[in-house]
Amino acid sequence: MLNEKKQELLEKIKSWILIFVGCTAMCAGFVFFINPYNIIPGGVYGASIVLHNIFPSVQVGTFGYCFEIPLMLLSLLLLGAKLGIRTIVACLVQPLIMNVLSWMAYPDQASLEALDPTRIAGGLIDMSDHLMLATLIGSTLIGMGCGIVVRNQATTGGTDIVAMILQKYAHLKFSTGIFIVDSFVVMFGVVVIGFGVGSDSVVAAENPSLLLMFYSLIAIFVASRVVAFTITGSKNDKLLFIISDEKLTPLHKYILDDLDRSGTCIKSSGLYSKGDKEMLMLVVNYKEANIVKSKIKEADPRAFVIVTDAYDTYGEGWKPLPVAEELQPE
């Protein structure tokens, strides 16, 4: 009993540490690779970058607070949701980490306000001539950090809350809500930064609006893909349905003895022939799928086989079932 409590405590500590690691990774992506080049990856911090161009004395992280706190209050008011303590902490800590990293990265207040890429980290990370690479690195760090936070039963708040409000009151899909908000933020950035309404940033002046939109859309796409991969993995499990007139005994033996897996035999009958058939349902990883298909051919060359992706697999030999009321990243 004592060991179980100790293990549970260690898991909680590990989870909190990973939340802070995830927030730090996200902030590093913004501070070193996104903010200095006025790339707008949507969301709260995309809007914060735009506002910083109008009010350079206010840091991006500080604008983050201006969005996060009202959005959390809106969530409580309009959604009636009780935000978890991990989500609240992540939302409040992330802007602080971003401001601290910004103060550490720039040598003086003038370069900090200008977000001058030639002065960041003493000029060691100046990627003004490699904006595509900066976009890819920055959005990868953001996506990875966000994924780590979500995997540990927290969220980064922000536009997710707006999307949930739109879902409830405008009857839009969650993904559609995110797309609308991110599109609005990017267009806001194009107007302010791309057309020079904001600050006199050198990077902004050298990058016309269409180029800014191009890099911003790439950042949004890459970050979303990395978030999905970090949360759910590569999703390479395959679900096979094998329907045969034969008993498929050699295939059963191979699955049980060689693959060390199991499956489910389902009694079935042909809709046209009315004859009894055997249907075997089986989940394997992608490497095993091709081998199983060759074994099916050996057992019954006339077998009817369906192979599809298994989005998630729980149970013995796979992932444990989720705990009730636990936040599920998928």
Residue 219 near residue 41 (C-beta atoms within 8 A): yes
DSSP assignment, residue 182?
Answer: H
Residue 121 near residue 32 (C-beta atoms within 8 A): yes
> What is the pLDDT at residue 202?
46
pLDDT 10s digits, 25-55: 999 999 999 999 988 888 899 999 999 988 9
Contacts of 83 (CB under 8 A, 6+ apart): 72, 75, 76, 157
Q: State which residues of the chain have pLDDT below 50.
A: 197-205, 324-330
> What is the pLDDT at residue 243?
92
Q: Dihedral (C-alpha) 19, 24, 25, 31: value to the nearest 10 degrees?
A: 150
> What is the pLDDT at residue 2?
61
> What is the pLDDT at residue 174?
65
CATH 3.30.70.120 domain locations along the chain? 237-309
How far is the C-alpha of 11 from the C-alpha of 133, rounded, in Å?
36
Give residue 88's identity as a one-letter amino acid code. I
How far is the C-alpha of 320 from the C-alpha of 11, rounded, in Å?
16
Which CATH class name applies to 237-309? alpha beta
List the one residue out of 33, 38, 217, 46 whose CA is nearest residue 138. 33
> What is the pLDDT at residue 330?
46
> What is the pLDDT at residue 102?
93
Residue 27 near residue 48 (C-beta atoms within 8 A): no
109 CB neighbour count, 10 Å cutoff: 10
